[in-house]
Amino acid sequence: MRVWLTPQFWLRLLIVGSGLAGLLIGDHRIVYYTCQSNLITLGYFGAVLYWMVRRGTTGPAAPRLRGAVTLWIVITGLISHFMLQNGANPLPGLAVADPASRVTNWSMFLVHYAVPLLVLTDWVLFGPRRVSPWRDLGLWILFPLAYGVTSVTRAILFPTVSVRYPYFFLDPTTHGYDWVAGQFAELAVIFAVLGAALLGVDRLAARLARPAEDSPVVHNPEPSTGTPAKIGPTR
């Protein structure tokens, strides 16, 4: 099978290319969730491309992990747009006059918008379907929550690090740790809803793509010639 002629191959190649370009042209530190989720996405879809070419199939490697990777990178896009950018349109920044600012804005656009949207498109359009059971949802949200706990713990143990609190909702200096705990609880609910929505889309797509043979087949009768059909052996 010529997998390089399939839309799955080119979409996943675009995911890898966008993530790689976004990380390379910008200043991204591993302490940020954006960087970590994009590296995971880059690694996963890079392995998927290798698997597709090696096996000659459009099916991704480790398909059960695909849902988790999709959720993690979608979280990146949503938190960036709604919590960090307050819903501001990122497109004007891609054409600013200053070259350095333009490169920075393109880097942020690729890792915060392009990669999440491309991965979500891959999830919606392509299978395999029903690989991840509903119980996987609890496992999916562990990584983003563990990232938050680890970030706060790191700030307590190493108070002199350059980026003590990567995101404002992890910073207890103004509102206290009770407020941070409330942010964790709220985000956990949001992540669970997002994961459930992804699983719901997966189930809906599986229904819409149900094979035609599941439907009753109607056979057209042969046209009548006016002569009764012979039954039994001929002589």
pLDDT in tens, 165-204: 999 999 999 999 999 999 999 999 999 999 999 999 999 9
- Asked if residue 190 belongs to a domain, the reply is yes
- Asked if residue 226 belongs to a domain, the reply is no
3-state secondary structure 9-49: HHHHHHHHHHHHHHHHHCCCCCCCHHHHHHHHHHHHHHHHH
Contact 58, 6 (CB under 8 A): yes
Number of domains composing the chain: 1
**Cα–Cα distances in angstroms (integers) from residue 113 to residues 61, 201, 215, 235, in the given order:** 24, 20, 40, 76
The yes-or-no verdict on residue 211 having pLDDT over 80 is no
- Asked if residue 21 belongs to a domain, the reply is yes
- Asked if residue 217 belongs to a domain, the reply is no
pLDDT at 210: 74
Contact 170, 180 (CB under 8 A): yes
The yes-or-no verdict on residue 1 having pLDDT over 70 is no
The yes-or-no verdict on residue 223 having pLDDT over 80 is no
- Asked if residue 227 belongs to a domain, the reply is no
- Asked if residue 116 belongs to a domain, the reply is yes
Neighbours of 43 (CB within 10 A): 13
Q: How many whole angstroms separate alpha carbon 233 and alpha carbon 218?
A: 28
Only one residue has tokens 């656009």, namely: 109
Domain hosting residue 174, numbered range:
3-209
pLDDT at 213: 40
- Asked if residue 235 belongs to a domain, the reply is no
pLDDT at 61: 86
pLDDT at 222: 52
153-166 tens-digit pLDDT? 999 999 999 999 99
- Asked if residue 222 belongs to a domain, the reply is no
- What torsion do the CA atoms of 123, 127, 133, 134 make, to the nearest 10 degrees? 30
